[in-house]
Amino acid sequence: MSQPSAELIQLFQPVEEGLDAMRACLTGQLEETSGAVSDMTGHVSRFRGKQLRAALVLLSAKACGTYTAEHPSVAAVVEMIHLATLVHDDILDGAEVRRRVACVNQRWDNQVAVLLGDFLYARAFALSTTLSSRLCSSLLAETTRTLCIGEIEQSSRRYDFEVERETLEGIAAAKTASLYAAACELGARYPGGEVELGETMKGFGRDLGLAFQLVDDCLDLVGDSRVVGKSTGTDVQDGKVTLPVWFVYRDASTAVRAAIRDAYTRPNVEDRAALLKEVVDVRPGVDATLARATALLEGARARLAPLPETPSRASLEEITRFVLRRTW
């Protein structure tokens, strides 16, 4: 499997060996005697990404002095759950299939993507049940449930501009931050105890993950897809009211609010994000969202204060800065 970017390799340096073990474990898990399955899992590399969650498991464990030989497997379980969510995020609904079919290069059909995601979830849970402690399987089963609830809530709030800000942040916390929180908590607590340290790192992961999602929402709105490395404008296209748009809408006049809603809903619009940016300046919303992310990341760093100064702790701190400056 390919490697993350040079900057991340640097940040992950304290857990390089563990990450190699994690990748070997992941590769082993995705091997199947079934030809049809291995054809599909081969494509999973398309979704591989930064392996940030896996690294957080290992860095948290090292920073807390709780690292064990099983931590790379725990990290692989976390990473597989993340991969499963990415694969299922790729499923298009009926409306989207009809809308996008002309322009989207669909690598697989929807059914196959559903099955591949299910396979990854099943593989993750199966691996977690082979570990010596049940903490990994119980914590990650609950976390997966929370992820699903977050996605379902988000789906139910599409086109809802009157949503409370707390609800929006709650959705981002559930669908994204919960897995970061679980990764860091498992790093600190697995296999047995360290409940207090676990709570500290869970808080760190939650703040980091929420900030990550807020930055992601900004990148989707104003990022350059060539730099971000994935298509942008998808949130507006899908009717998702993210925090930057929420801020802009809140502070807009009645006329501009109507124009914003129109950009989300008018039929036959090719690029809704572009239309939105024509009718309103989204920069103040982006700035307010990035300010919120900055505050969250400062909070995350403060949580690390009780930990001894180690290369792993330094990497965790640097990752909070990396989240704000990432451009993909």
Instruction: Tell me the closest approach of the beta carbon of residue 73 to a second copy, in angstroms.
Output: 14
Closer to a second copy at the Cβ: 141 or 222? Answer: 141
Q: How far apart are CA 14 and CA 42, in angstroms?
A: 29
Instruction: Tell me the closest approach of the beta carbon of residue 128 to a second copy, in angstroms.
Output: 8
Instruction: Tell me the closest approach of the beta carbon of residue 92 to a second copy, in angstroms.
Output: 7
Instruction: Tell me the closest approach of the beta carbon of residue 305 to a second copy, in angstroms.
Output: 33
Among residues 1, 152, 195, 274, which is the contact residue for a second copy, using CB under 8 A?
A: 152
Among residues 2, 105, 111, 254, which is the contact residue for a second copy, using CB under 8 A?
A: 111
Q: Which stretch binds a second copy (CB under 8 A): 30-38, 197-205, 243-251, 252-260?
A: 30-38
DSSP sequence for 279-322? HS--HHHHHHHHHHHHHHHHHHHHHTTTS---HHHHHHHHHHHH
Residue 233 and residue 272 in contact, taking contact as beta carbons nearer than 8 Å: yes
Residue 323 and residue 212 in contact, taking contact as beta carbons nearer than 8 Å: yes
Closer to a second copy at the Cβ: 105 or 253? Answer: 105
Residue 1 and residue 45 in contact, taking contact as beta carbons nearer than 8 Å: yes
Does 121 engage in binding with a second copy (CB under 8 A)? yes
Does 144 engage in binding with a second copy (CB under 8 A)? yes
Does 234 engage in binding with a second copy (CB under 8 A)? no
Question: Which among 65, 59, 70, 86 has a CA at the least distance from the CA of 22?
Answer: 70
Strand ranges in 140-192 using DSSP code E only, listed in sequence order: none
32-57 as b/e: b if 16+ CB within 10 A: eeeeeeeebbeebeebbbebbbbbbb
Does 327 engage in binding with a second copy (CB under 8 A)? no
Does 25 engage in binding with a second copy (CB under 8 A)? no
Binding site for a second copy (CB under 8 A): 32, 34-37, 39-40, 84, 88, 91-95, 97-98, 101, 106, 109-112, 114-119, 121-123, 125-126, 128-130, 134, 137-138, 141-142, 144-145, 147-149, 151-153, 155-157
